[in-house]
Homo-oligomer: A and B are copies of this chain.
Amino acid sequence: MKITIKDVATEAGVSIATVSRVLNKKNRVKQETKLRVQQAIHKLNFQPDHTARSMIMKETRTVGLIVPNLSNEYWALLAEVIQDKLWEHGYSLIVCSTNKSADKEMAFVKSFTVRRVDGVVFGSSTLFGSSRHDEQLANMLKSLPTVSIDPSISGLNSVVGDNLQGATDAVEHLIGLGHRRIAYIGGPTVSKQRELGYRNAMMNHELPVLEELIKRGDDNTIAFSSFGYHSMLSLLESGEKFTAVFCGNDLIAIGAIRALEDRRIQVPADISVIGYDDINIAALYKPSLTTVRQPMREMGSAAVDMLLELIQCPDGNNVPKKIVYQNQLVQRESSGPAR
């Protein structure tokens, strides 16, 4: 049988109200009584039932996190940071990975409402775009204290990385190295901003954007290096000349490099390659990857701060905020002067 507050009260010879008082510290209890209660608690190894407390206090001290997956180290790191910081504030984290299923995504949010989580961090960028689903989801999310990471959903607080600027910087770096014919391999969604940055940099420098030099995959394919591999191959076979390629993420870049090596083309001597995200392996790869870093730790931390504030002042000012983090170019071996 579970030990309840009643057992403790009996053991200490006081009422349950008193036990509750020493448990919650707030109200003062005579030192002596307090001691007796504490002894009883210790003796019986009593653990107050969080569930019962939640029901009354109307707070579960739990927040929900939705991410597309955890096998991507980008999200895994985010989850870790968020959990860690939340824990310091007494919150637990329920983690849900959608695996790109819009149905699951919706079901997760629903379960968050049912479970009465105090807030949610929504980091499921990839699904946004299919309008019907979006609207419904956004509405559910709005009824909960929510901060979204990456997709900046209108009406919600959000923390995002400046992909447009990061991509622009990367491509301008290539241009600065003397490259003129620069290819792009990427995907939709997040990568849309990155592709835009590519176009932006090219236009800034009055360089033509050649559609033949652009390879685009969908969300499922771009998560694998084989997409980069095959895109590079088809780029090579197209006969179009280029001396550099900007990739929508590091995995694509690695695949592209592999393809280049298979064709005995040197990186960066013959062709420069830039990735995005700065995953762990980027620094370890051979050649090490020039890439753009999203400050995930900072973003996760900021998201928690925002969320906590939202939770603590439920009717603080209602205009949604958005924090934008710069994305930083990290120069390594895979990019060099144009041949």
Chain A residues within 8 Å of B, Cβ to Cβ: 47-52, 54-55, 60, 62, 69-71, 73, 76-77, 79-80, 83-84, 87, 92-97, 99, 104, 110-111, 113-116, 225, 251, 254-255, 258, 261, 280-281, 284-286
Contact = CB atoms under 8 A, between A and B. Distances in A.
Question: Within the oligomer, what is the number of copies of this chain?
Answer: 2
A99 B84 contact: yes
Contacts of A94: 62, 92-95
- Closest 9 CB pairs between A and B? A76-B76, A70-B80, A70-B76, A95-B95, A281-B281, A50-B115, A50-B114, A51-B54, A92-B94
Among A254, A255, A261, chain B packs the most CB atoms within 10 A around the CB of A254
- State the majority secondary structure of interface residues on A: helix
A62 B115 CA distance: 10
29 contacts: A48-B114, A50-B114, A50-B115, A50-B116, A51-B54, A51-B55, A52-B55, A69-B80, A70-B77, A70-B83, A71-B73, A71-B76, A71-B77, A71-B80, A79-B79, A83-B95, A83-B96, A87-B96, A87-B104, A92-B96, A93-B95, A93-B96, A225-B284, A251-B284, A254-B284, A255-B284, A258-B286, A281-B284, A281-B285
Given A50-B115, A94-B94, A99-B84, A261 B281 contact: no
Nearest to A115: B50
Given A83-B97, A95-B83, A115-B92, A286 B284 contact: no
Contacts of A80: 69-71, 97
Contact of A79 (B95, B115, B225, B286): B95
A116 B49 contact: yes
Nearest to A110: B47
A280 B114 CA distance: 36
Contacts of A54: 51
Contacts of A114: 47-50
A50 B104 CA distance: 19
Given A50-B116, A251-B284, 18 more contacts: A49-B114, A50-B115, A51-B55, A51-B115, A62-B94, A70-B77, A70-B80, A71-B73, A71-B280, A83-B97, A84-B97, A84-B99, A87-B104, A92-B111, A93-B96, A254-B284, A255-B284, A285-B285
Nearest to A72: B76
A88 to B, nearest CB: 10
Nearest to A56: B51
A290 to B, nearest CB: 17
A54 B62 CA distance: 15
A309 to B, nearest CB: 22
Contacts of A261: 286
A83 B66 CA distance: 12
A260 to B, nearest CB: 11
